[in-house]
Structure 1
């Protein structure tokens, strides 16, 4: 049985979807990955686009709340935004917070899609780097 990791964000539309996608792509043989939101806002199409650019397909992901997950116990819960960290439902064991900027908020003033994608790509890459280091970080916490 592989350890399970839940990524939790406000709307399960962008950051948590990216983290789940990266996790399955990079570390799927070592962990089971899930993502959810405090609410569900639908998967952000620009998140799908930039993940595909990196070779990670999250096109079949869907936005969900914790209550909709197939399991309710997780070995690790990682919040990816301040709101989720502050309003996280109760989970037994420690909840780890590692916040990332919100690409849709950063891109709100973008002149066009290409300018908006710059923000999505930066956060995508930051989340990917975090996922690569995740086994070491989890081992240090135990």
Structure 2
């Protein structure tokens, strides 16, 4: 599917429907999806259930904590979790941030009435160089996710 396309989208091309639950899904729930979860929690109403997960088990990434702290955000004691281990499997919207996550979401949702959107995001963990260069890659991903959240949810 094209960037931003999803199952169950508004065929009229109008604004996206309001959602009551959102899952952000990426490879290991260590970088992109937890950043998205933290950002979404900071802007969406508390009535919206927000979660994140990965298709594989990951480890918490200290650079994520650093760039979120720069924004006054925190993951608290939250640890990465796998998509298949989620207690609540129903979401109005699943936002995938990596090709493998997108395929997993489409396979898992089948014919269910859930919107799946693909927001491809680079993996900043592949960047090498100084600590500042690596942090800049993480900040860039945070900004990209923030812009997508603003566009999608009208913030």
Please say whether Structure 1 and Structure 2 have the same fold, judged by a TM-score greater than 0.5: yes
- Aligned-partner Cα distance in 1 for 2:146–2:77: 19
The structure with more helix, counted as a fraction of residues? 1
2:124/2:141 contact within 8 Å kept: yes
**Structure 2 residue corresponding to 1:44, chosen from 51, 61, 64:** 61
For the pair 1:121 / 2:142, whether they are aligned, the reply is no
| 1:43-122 paired onto structure 2 within 5 Å | 43-88=60-105, 89-91=107-109, 92=112, 93-105=114-126, 107=127, 109-110=128-129, 112-122=130-140
- Aligned-partner Cα distance in 2 for 1:17–1:46: 12
Please state whether the residue corresponding to 1:60 is helix, strand or coil: coil
Root-mean-square deviation over aligned CA pairs: 1.8
Aligned residues: 133
Paired residue for 1:134? 152
- Aligned-partner Cα distance in 2 for 1:85–1:21: 20
Paired residue for 1:140? none
Structure 1, unpaired ranges of 5+: 137-142
Structure 2, unpaired ranges of 5+: 1-18
Taking structure 1 as the reference length, the TM-score comes to 0.85
Taking structure 2 as the reference length, the TM-score comes to 0.78
Paired residue for 1:3? 20
Rg: which structure is higher?
Answer: 2
